[in-house]
Chain A
Amino acid sequence: MSTDTLTERPARSTLFDGLSRYIPIGATVALLVVMYLVGTGNYRNFGEPQVVANLFVNNAALLIIAVGMTFVILSGGIDLSVGSVMAFSAMSCAWLTVEAGIPAETAVAMVLVLGTVSGAATGAVIHYFNVQPFIATLAGLFLYRGLTLQISDRDVAIRDNAFFDWGMERTEFGNVRDGGFSLPNIVFIAGAVVLIAFVVLHYTRFGRGVYAVGGSEQSALLMGLPVARTKVGVYAVSGFCAALGGVVAAFSTKSADPLGGLGLELDAIAAVVVGGALLTGGAGFVLGTVAGVMVMGMLSTIISFDGRFSSWWARIIVGILLLAFILLQRVLARSGEKRKT
């Protein structure tokens, strides 16, 4: 062959390569299917569509927050403040509506703007002052939890508010008594968030920039990509999602709990990792995160259907799953490295 054209076929089996980058998400989906089959095989009524629909209903807030977390983790960062931000925004909504008498729509809009701006501020601190994301967002974790308890250290109930009632209004698909199911509006909100996140991550410059920064921040900078805007952006997205998660939580319980969302940041991180994203950034899918949230929800469902185990078993199994997925990623990454040397 002449030297006029150099041809090279991509080598197989790197973590980033063709098929193998779908291995983690494939494993998650397979796990989901197995769990569903185990459930339907062992428990009566498990196979009803409403059971699956309830996975989304019960985990709508977590799903929204995990989507925001996906942006941050893809960029190579971490956001520990989301649980507190969620509680803060739920509490702010309730307080503004109930105590301050502000219209619920306005209160929700204010809370969402606040969440976005505070997320962007965190991102700016991380980028411009070169602070570890872990530390910067840990500060947020304490700050917003403290602020929440400052507003009220007791539950604030939201009664007889048309806007908040709207959140749990259900749309029926088929006859619920006969193989149909119904979904409240919060599930559609979560669905919209997932859809928008998917399009943004895969089809916009900002989204591809998130992957590039997560792959190598140094390279992204030298390629002339807007690294600062991207990093600030992912924390703004996460802040917005956390605030929206708080609103959704307020919708579903018609109240705000000052200790709500305690430890939720860790659930969100677990869902993202089980969904196949690399904690070091640059690899993963938002649909994987959806699968990750579903796995965690399905676990709790199976345990509650069974009734013999305490609900803490869900945590134990999530711990084991996390470990398994991290090991899987290492094995894949190592086989990729081996090929290269």
Chain B
Amino acid sequence: MSDEPIVQMTGITKDFTGVRALDGVDFTLRPGEIHAVMGENGAGKSTLIKVLTGVHTPDAGQIRLDGRPVRFNSPKAAQAGGISTVYQEVNLTENLSVAENLFAGREPRLGPFINFRAMRRRARALLEDIGIDLNVAAPLGSYSIAMQQLVAIARAVDIKAKVLILDEPTSSLDRDEVAVLLRVMRRLAENGTAMVFISHFLDQVYEISDRMTVLRNGTLVGEWESAALPESDLIGHMLGREAATLEQIERQAGEHKPDRGEPIVSAKGLGRKGSIAPYDLEVHAGEVVGLAGLLGSGRTETVRLIAGADRHDSGTLAFEGKSVGSHNPRTAALRGIAFCPENRKTEGLVGDLTVAENMILAMQASKGWARTVPPAQRSRLVAEFIEKLDIRPANPDLPVKNLSGGNQQKVLLARWMLIEPKLLILDEPTRGIDVGAKADIQRLVTELSGDGMAVLFVSAELDEVTRLSDRIAVLRDRELIATLETEADMTSEKIVDTIVAKGGDQ
């Protein structure tokens, strides 16, 4: 497998408005290997990939493809050179059909006209090849995100790529879909395609990759054979610090027993047609209530009703014992309910504003536009939270869009912590972010509840829910099916059992 490298990047350096994203990084990819690029968010993985795919041009360093020096200045040029990419977010167009998305820009033609029949036939054959069966004439937007992702991969595969880059392709896929994807990757590797694989799921990385390159803070830590690098060492290399934080949190949550009493928020028969069946839920001060369930089970819908993001059409909602009348995100914020939505890019942060401005937004809104936050107080608060949450780079004047996912999430958290809410609702705060930031956020949740804040916590990771929550509400098929008290012997298996058992009842 270690013949001539197909891609050789040496001394790659890239700066963004004063931030060095990559500093002299080397990367080698050999034919037919699956090579994982590992690192925390902000380590420079995405930048490295974007340099290789022509989205960014490096400030220094050299890229060799098949031994020849190359310089791509657009994704199109990289594609022509044989480098295809599947990004974390599906980068296809929902309004065109599946077949058109597969062949956009290289449609089979008859004279100047697109040969739709040939295109559909080839699309079907291509999808069959990788094991999916769709109506290729239907618009892509009518399929689930997971399926769209697989279509994106099929497209990249068909471009006869010598190098295929998969940037977090599995983050929106369920287990079966991941299995299909990994099977496709293996088949491609056997045919000699070299792949760069980026994923936060360590088990997938170990299952599929031959080799790993680890980055940290924009510099190269090293390259290892996957089989020769134990997981604990990998995490150590990625974090560059003792990774025992996660275990500590577990113990804290176990010891911490809130005194019940008046609930902060109490929902009775709260529901919304077509989104979530009526449910009862209480959250007390100093309590972490976790919401567990599969994707699409109604976790997000449950918290959106409490946050006032969606209007409920049945039941009542009481806040600190008082029944709530008009309920929308603004009145909710005034009552002290803070909601961090799932999609931080579109629903939470304003990308072009700076870190400081994003943090101060909610606080300013709660004071009204006429009473500005004095600059001195503002910079003191911002500096305090940047340090407390370990936001990197620690520059309050940087546009927030230049930060990595994990750090953006921290900025969003800081925004709500500034107004000192009584109830903090976190919808998938740790999705798609690295181990270090995850640990920071989990630690924070524990601390906040220790200070008496009520927290409603949604996560797809059962281990995380189990570790942090005092009580766990279990959802299935848009219905709250059980509320479990977290005792010392609580395990994620118990949650799974609850979900499965209720499914069997019906």
Contact = CB atoms under 8 A, between A and B. Distances in A.
B76 interface: yes
Interface string B81-103: 00001010011111110001100
Interface string A8-22: 111110111110010
A203 B114 contact: yes
Interface stretch (A38-46, A219-227, A264-272): A219-227
Interface stretch (A54-62, A170-178, A206-214, A317-325): A206-214
B475 to A, nearest CB: 14
A203 to B, nearest CB: 4
B263 interface: no
Most buried by A among B76, B93, B96, B131: B93
Interface stretch (B139-147, B234-242, B352-360): B139-147
A218 B90 CA distance: 11
A316 interface: no
B138 interface: yes
Contact of A208 (B107, B112, B180): B107
Given A5-B133, A338-B274, A199 B139 contact: no
A3 B175 CA distance: 10
Contacts of A209: 104-105
A16 B142 contact: yes
Given A3-B180, A7-B132, A8-B143, A215 B114 contact: no
Nearest to A281: B95
Contact of B95 (A203, A211, A222, A223): A211
Contacts of A85: none
A225 B139 contact: no
B79 interface: yes
Most chain B CB atoms below 10 A, which of A4, A203, A224? A224
A6 B147 contact: yes
Contacts of A223: 91-93, 101, 104-105, 155
Nearest to B80: A224
B138 A17 contact: yes
A10 B104 contact: no
Interface in A218-258: 218-226
Contacts of B131: 4-6
A282 interface: yes
Interface string B273-299: 010000000000000000000000000
Contacts of B446: none
A212 B93 contact: yes
B134 interface: yes
A304 interface: no
Contacts of A69: none
B150 interface: yes
A214 B91 CA distance: 13
A152 interface: no
B93 A216 contact: yes
A153 B135 CA distance: 59
B141 A204 contact: no
A211 B247 CA distance: 51
A219 B85 CA distance: 12
Interface residues of B, number: 46
A7 B143 CA distance: 11
A336 interface: yes
Nearest to A225: B105
Q: Kindly state the interface size class of chain A when it binds its partner.
A: 35 or more
B100 A208 contact: yes
Interface string A122-164: 0000000000000000000000000000000000000000000
Contact of B114 (A8, A12, A18, A204): A204
B300 interface: yes
B75 interface: yes
A115 B76 CA distance: 30
A341 interface: yes
A214 B100 CA distance: 14
Contacts, number: 124
B96 A211 contact: yes
Contacts of B75: 221-222, 224
A4 B179 CA distance: 9
Contacts of A215: 93-96
Contacts of A7: 132-134
Contacts of A12: 142
Contacts of B105: 205, 209, 223-226
Could you say which of B55, B133, B177 has the most chain A C-beta atoms within 10 Å of its C-beta?
B133
B16 interface: no
Interface string A280-320: 00110000000000000000000000000000000000000
A284 to B, nearest CB: 10
Interface string B155-166: 100000000000
B397 interface: no
Interface in A70-102: none
B176 interface: yes
Contact of B135 (A10, A212, A282, A341): A10
A204 B113 contact: yes
A209 B87 CA distance: 20
Given A5-B132, A218-B91, A222-B75, A10 B143 contact: yes
A290 B188 CA distance: 48
A214 B139 CA distance: 14
A216 B96 CA distance: 10
A202 to B, nearest CB: 8
B179 to A, nearest CB: 5
B91 A282 contact: no
B138 A14 contact: no
Contact of A14 (B93, B142, B300, B301): B142
Interface in B100-121: 100-101, 104-105, 107, 109, 112-114, 116
Contacts of B92: 216, 219, 223
B150 A6 contact: yes
B93 A6 contact: no
A201 B474 CA distance: 50
Contacts of B112: 204
A205 B274 contact: no
A199 B116 CA distance: 13
Contact of A18 (B96, B134, B142): B142
A251 to B, nearest CB: 29
B113 A203 contact: yes
Contacts of B113: 199, 203-204
A3 B93 CA distance: 27
Given A6-B132, A203-B114, A211-B95, A224 B139 contact: no
Nearest to A223: B104
A8 B300 contact: no
Contacts of B87: 222
B91 A219 contact: yes
B238 to A, nearest CB: 27
A4 B132 CA distance: 8
18 contacts: A4-B131, A6-B132, A6-B150, A16-B95, A16-B141, A18-B142, A199-B113, A204-B113, A204-B114, A208-B96, A211-B95, A212-B104, A214-B95, A215-B95, A219-B92, A223-B91, A224-B79, A282-B93
| Shortest 9 CB-CB contacts between residues of A and residues of B | A215-B93, A10-B142, A215-B95, A10-B138, A282-B95, A224-B76, A16-B139, A17-B142, A16-B141
Interface of B: 55, 75-76, 79-80, 85, 87, 90-96, 100-101, 104-105, 107, 109, 112-114, 116, 128, 131-135, 138-139, 141-144, 147, 150, 155, 176-177, 179-180, 274, 300-301
Given A6-B132, A17-B138, A208-B96, 10 more contacts: A5-B131, A12-B142, A14-B141, A203-B113, A215-B93, A224-B79, A225-B105, A226-B76, A226-B105, A341-B301
